[in-house]
């Protein structure tokens, strides 16, 4: 893993983290009820919006994780990687808004490579599960079954904390989980989240 980031990589990671956090918070808003209390089963509308926003947050956080820990070249699309010899070339493409990155499937598969992350096979299976769920909702407009809504909030919050927030975590800052959550989500949002019945259990797992 990298021991530090260049200024360009810091800029990329900061932007990706900011955008991922926006979508993550939007997803959690649909997991919680309007008064912030916990609910195990979601409405159909909340389920669709929570899954969609959560998966966008996942894709952005994955890119941030790879750039932060393994460098900007890890996310550059193979078609452009052949043409660049250094980070300055990548930055020129980025500044010209011509930088292409690898698709989510390719980036996700990197997580399974030795030394890339600490995620388990079970974690990777969950990522694939949510990816499939989101694709069905957005591309195939499949009907959501009653079983999909049952305990959906538990599964999505666990996914948010154990995988998405794991990928967003900045090891260079050396923060505790709570400090990281406050720094990333903001105090007001964190305060609402930590009062959920299952939050403490998920943090300790």
Question: pLDDT by residue (tens digit) across 133-147?
Answer: 787 777 766 666 666
pTM: 0.85
Q: pLDDT for 67-94, tens place per residue?
A: 999 999 999 999 999 889 899 999 999 9
Radius of gyration of the chain (CA): 18
Q: pLDDT for 154-195, tens place per residue?
A: 778 788 878 898 899 887 777 877 788 888 888 877 777 776
DSSP 8-state class, residue 101 = B
Q: pLDDT for 94-126, tens place per residue?
A: 999 999 999 999 999 998 888 888 888 898 898
DSSP 8-state class, residue 75 = T
Say which residues have a Cβ less than 8 Å from residue 182's Cβ, sequence separation at least 6. 190
């Amino acid at each position: 893993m990298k021991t530090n980031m260049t200024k360009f990589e810091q800029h990329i990671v900061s932007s990706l983290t900011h955008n991922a956090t926006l979508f993550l918070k939007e997803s959690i808003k649909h997991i919680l009820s309007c008064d912030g209390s916990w609910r195990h089963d979601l409405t159909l509308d909340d389920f669709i919006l929570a899954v969609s926003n959560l998966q966008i947050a996942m894709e952005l956080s994955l890119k941030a994780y790879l750039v932060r820990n393994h460098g900007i070249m890890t996310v550059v699309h193979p078609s452009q990687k052949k043409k660049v010899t250094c980070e300055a070339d990548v930055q020129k493409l980025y500044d010209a808004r011509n930088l292409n990155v690898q698709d989510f499937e390719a980036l996700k598969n990197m997580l399974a490579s030795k030394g890339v992350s600490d995620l388990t096979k079970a974690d990777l299976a969950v990522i694939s599960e949510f990816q499939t769920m989101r694709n069905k909702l957005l591309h195939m407009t499949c009907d959501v079954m009653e079983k999909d809504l049952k305990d959906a909030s538990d599964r999505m919050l666990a996914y948010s904390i154990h995988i998405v927030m794991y990928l967003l975590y900045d090891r260079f800052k050396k923060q505790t989980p709570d400090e990281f959550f406050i720094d990333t989500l903001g105090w007001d949002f964190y305060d609402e989240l930590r009062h959920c019945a299952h939050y403490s259990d998920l943090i300790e797992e």
